A and B are shown apart, each in its own frame.
Chain A
Amino acid sequence: DTEVTQTPKHLVMGMTNKKSLKCEQHMGHRAMYWYKQKAKKPPELMFVYSYEKLSINESVPSRFSPECPNSSLLNLHLHALQPEDSALYLCASSQDGFYGYTFGSGTRLTVV
């Protein structure tokens, strides 16, 4: 298995909703990431988990809450989002160093 799987592929949520994005990999990678990508912009890092511990938080608002239940799973909990949070949310994973830095297909999030 050489994939990073993200669910759901599409999500529409209201500003008062609570939802979660899920990411899974079975490549034995020890680092997992959340990136956000707006239209016609490059991906921007949000969070990095290294060995199941949060190692980087790029000053993301608290309405985004990451969780790493185990080395294969990464969640992003969403609460009270704003319309400007609408974007493609990408999960990635990697081995030590940069080897195998692999992205999932993303979740297209629309906040209404």
Chain B
Amino acid sequence: DQQVKQNSPSLSVQEGRISILNCDYTNSMFDYFLWYKKYPAEGPTFLISISSIKDKNEDGRFTVFLNKSAKHLSLHIVPSQPGDSAVYFCAASWDRAAGNKLTFGGGTRVLVKP
């Protein structure tokens, strides 16, 4: 049972435009969500996170929106840059103790065209 889903395996966007990545989850216990960016043969790099007490978090060009009732979150990248081309994973967790399991979505490959 896939508890975190990214239904779009790939996304192509023109440089300077907005990239919108979507993520759905089924486990209502999840209360903390993270987005990671990953280049081939490298570890995931943390981008931005949001807790369930918020519905929006912004950091520079990256904004994450959370809709708890719909169990849906999205990542907006504005403006998109060629260096943003990578695979993006959303991840979720609900255990607050030290030592937290992250459940990852399947990833969305983003290609930003110059």
Interface centre among B49, B99, B105 (most CB of A within 10 A): B99
8 Å CB contact of B104 from A6, A42, A97, A102: A42
What 1/0 mask marks residues of chain A from 1 to 25 whose CB sits below 8 Å from any chain B CB? Answer: 0001010000000000000000000
Please, how many residues of chain B have a CB less than 8 angstroms from a CB on the other chain?
Answer: 23
Q: Which residues of B contact A106 (CB under 8 A)?
A: 41-43
The answer to whether the Cβ of B70 comes within 8 Å of any Cβ in the partner chain is no
Query: Which range holds the interface residue count of chain A?
Result: 20 to 34
Q: Which residues of A contact B42 (CB under 8 A)?
A: 105-106
Q: Which residues of B contact A50 (CB under 8 A)?
A: 97-99
The smallest C-beta distance from B96 to any residue of chain A, in angstroms, reads 6
B43 & A48 in contact (Cβ 8 Å cutoff)? no
B43 & A4 in contact (Cβ 8 Å cutoff)? yes
A101 to B101 Cα, complex, angstroms = 10
- The dominant DSSP class at the A interface is strand
The answer to whether the Cβ of A90 comes within 8 Å of any Cβ in the partner chain is yes
A105 to B43 Cα, complex, angstroms = 4
A48 to B93 Cα, complex, angstroms = 14
Q: Which residues of B contact A49 (CB under 8 A)?
A: 99
The answer to whether the Cβ of A112 comes within 8 Å of any Cβ in the partner chain is no
A92 to B107 Cα, complex, angstroms = 18
The residue in chain A whose Cβ has the minimal distance to the Cβ of B45 is A103
8 Å CB contact of B44 from A40, A51, A90, A95: A90
Q: Which residues of B contact A108 (CB under 8 A)?
A: 41
Q: Which residues of B contact A48 (CB under 8 A)?
A: 99-101
The answer to whether the Cβ of B32 comes within 8 Å of any Cβ in the partner chain is yes
The residue in chain A whose Cβ has the minimal distance to the Cβ of B4 is A42
The residue in chain B whose Cβ has the minimal distance to the Cβ of A31 is B99
Query: Can you list 17 A-B pairs, Cβ within 8 angstroms, ordered by A?
Result: A31-B100, A33-B99, A42-B89, A43-B44, A49-B99, A51-B98, A94-B99, A96-B97, A97-B32, A97-B100, A98-B49, A101-B46, A102-B46, A103-B45, A103-B46, A105-B42, A105-B43
